[in-house]
Homo-oligomer: A and B are copies of this chain.
Amino acid sequence: RINGKRLVSRLAELSRIGATPEGGCRRLALSDEDKQGRDWLVGQMQALGLTVKIDAIGNIVGILKGQEDGPAVVMGSHIDTVGTGGRFDGALGVIAGVEVLAALRDAGLQPKRDMAVIAFTNEEGARFHPDMLGSYVWAGGMSVAAAHAEKDADGAVLGTELARIGYHGPEQPGFLPAYAYLELHIEQGPILESEGGGLGAVTGIQGICWLELTLKGRPSHAGTTPMRYRKDPGLAAARINIFANELTRTIPGQLANSGVIRVQPGNVNVVPETVVMTLDLRNPLDAPLAEAEAAVRKFCAELSARDDIAISFRDLARFPATPFAEELIASVEASAAEFGLPIRRMISGAGHDAQMMSRLCPTAMVFIPSIGGLSHNPAELSTDEDMVAGANVLLSAAWRAANA
């Protein structure tokens, strides 16, 4: 069993790093706060007697030797946050993984297989694209070189930032073969809470399509230019935002968000010249997601022709819907049953490192409720009780896999 008190206090310790006045956390990937969080984590792993390795994309791997050689049962998540992040997103999964190994050490138990916990780099995609970058590189979906070349919005280069904070490690990403992957995470949405609480056995992750659109019109004077002479990309951006939003009412399961809108030159009395905006489109199924994206592109093409606005597209992230492994989902359910904990199957709305790890090995996740469904928000909250319950299910499912 997990030492609940220690789990909660370890999480509180990490939350102090990058704590914001609003009660949340700001540990953007490869920032100074992320470095502090990483240093702290490495210290915790070493104190536990784990072998700690860092790979070339900055993923932190803590390994507990098993009785036999061979692939490891891996747990993990991330400790980076979005700009307005909470204390639980990612951090819980990493710390619960550490606590699982601490609980085994406390109980004097050595698993048959190696067990490991990984903190993946830049899961949020808040600073560098794509999201889940560390696990994506780990799973071989993106080369180390390509990842190192990624730039943030201010032009800072990922590889340079990695070296700056001292986490450009010597290991090859993916160096540790995985037998199974398990991740505990907060739900980040309102579903479990609205069903009266209990845990979630995650059956997979919905498809994600992140687009960046650059709209170019013609800057002109807002007082002297008759409306019919204007080419206003701000107005076009507004129409696209509303169109994408309306798609969510006609395409089942469809979500859409425009989280970034940057207008140039940005003067009250100048009709905008350029707008950069993003769209985050998601759907549990790939076909309707593709339909939504196609509809957006068609709408943009028509708008472009009609209003003489040039519109170009760039992919920021594109991951298909990812089903998890049935036997591991069932093992999560069985673990919850052991502890008499209610659990229901559900799909994950957010992307997670598990989505990438499922390319390598059987994968599953455990969700705990998020109060008010809030996440990527300083008010993000889960109860101590739910955290401990989720960590116990993780412990049990991981132990079962490690000895199978």
Could you tell me which residues of chain A, from 302 to 320, have a CB within 8 Å of some CB in chain B? Answer: 316-317
A232 to B: closest C-beta gap in Å:
8
Which stretch (A51-59, A72-80, A217-225, A292-300) binds chain B?
A217-225
Of B129, B229, B238, B349, the residue contacting A241 (CB under 8 A) is B238
Asked if A270 contacts B84 (CB within 8 A), the reply is yes
Among B219, B223, B265, B375, the residue within 8 A (CB) of A280 is: B223
Residues of B within 8 A of A238 (CB): 237-239, 241-242
In A111-131, which residues have CB < 8 Å from any B CB?
124-126, 129, 131
Residue pair A219, B255 in contact (C-beta under 8 Å): no
Would you give the shortest CB distance from A21 to chain B, in whole angstroms?
15
Q: What mask results when residues 248 to 288 of chain A are scored 1 for a CB within 8 Å of chain B, else 0?
A: 11000001111111110111111111010010101000000
Residues of B within 8 A of A232 (CB): 245, 257
Is A234 an interface residue when CB atoms closer than 8 A count as contact?
yes
Interchain CA distance A189-B224 in the complex, whole Å: 5
Q: List the B residue with the shortest CB-CB distance to A244.
A: B235
- Which residues of the partner chain B approach A316 to less than 8 Å between Cβ atoms? 268
Q: Are B220 and A234 in contact (CB under 8 A)?
A: no
A206-B223, A261-B234, A351-B223 known; A126+B189 contact, CB < 8 A: no
Q: A249 to B237, alpha carbons, bound, how many Å?
A: 20
Give the residues in chain B near A234, CB-CB below 8 Å. Answer: 241, 258-259, 261
A260 / chain B contacts, CB cutoff of 8 Å: 263, 266-268
A4 adjacent to chain B (CB < 8 Å): no
Contact of A222 among B223, B225, B257 (CB under 8 A): B257
Docked complex Cα distance between A220 and B370 (Å): 12
Q: How far is the CB of A80 from the nearest CB of chain B, in Å?
A: 12
Q: When A189-B225, A225-B190, A242-B238 are in contact, do A263 and B269 touch as well, CB less than 8 Å?
A: no
B273 touches A259 (CB 8 A): no
Known contacts: A210-B268, A257-B269, A269-B82. The answer to whether A375 contacts B235 by CB under 8 A is no
Q: Does A404 contact B (CB under 8 A)?
A: no
Chain B residues contacting A269 (CB-CB under 8 Å) are 82, 124-126, 131, 210, 257, 259, 280, 350, 376
Task: Knowing A225-B189, A239-B238, say if A374 contacts B220 (CB, 8 Å).
Answer: yes
B190 touches A229 (CB 8 A): yes
Measured between beta carbons, the chain B residues less than 8 angstroms from A82 are: 265, 267, 269-270
Q: Which single residue of chain B is at the shortest CB-CB distance from A269?
A: B280
A187 at the B interface (CB under 8 A):
yes
Report how many copies the assembly holds.
2
Instruction: Name the one of B219, B237, B373 contacting A376, with C-beta atoms under 8 angstroms.
Output: B219
Contact in complex: B189, A376 (CB < 8 Å): no
Cα A269 to Cα B375 in complex, Å, equals 11
**Is A197 close to B, CB under 8 A?**
no
Give chain B nearest CB distance to A74 CB in angstroms: 23
Interface centre among A256, A259, A348 (most CB of B within 10 A): A259
C-alpha gap A190/B221 in the complex (Å): 11
A84 to B220, CA, bound (A): 10
- Does A227 reach chain B (CB closer than 8 Å)? yes
Please give me the residue from chain B that is nearest to A240 by CB atom. B238
Interface check A208, CB cutoff 8 A: yes
Scan A362-377; emit 1 where CB is below 8 A from any B CB, else 0.
0000000010011111
Q: Smallest distance from the beta carbon of A334 to chain B beta carbons, Å?
A: 26
Q: Does A226 contact B (CB under 8 A)?
A: yes
Q: Tell yes or no: A169 within 8 A of B by CB.
A: no
Contact B219–A84 (Cβ < 8 Å): yes
Q: Answer whether A265 and B189 are a contact pair too, CB < 8 Å, given A223-B282, A255-B222, A257-B271.
A: no
Contacts beyond the supplied A124-B267, A235-B258: 8 A-B pairs with Cβ under 8 Å: A210-B269, A221-B349, A223-B349, A225-B373, A226-B255, A232-B245, A239-B242, A257-B269
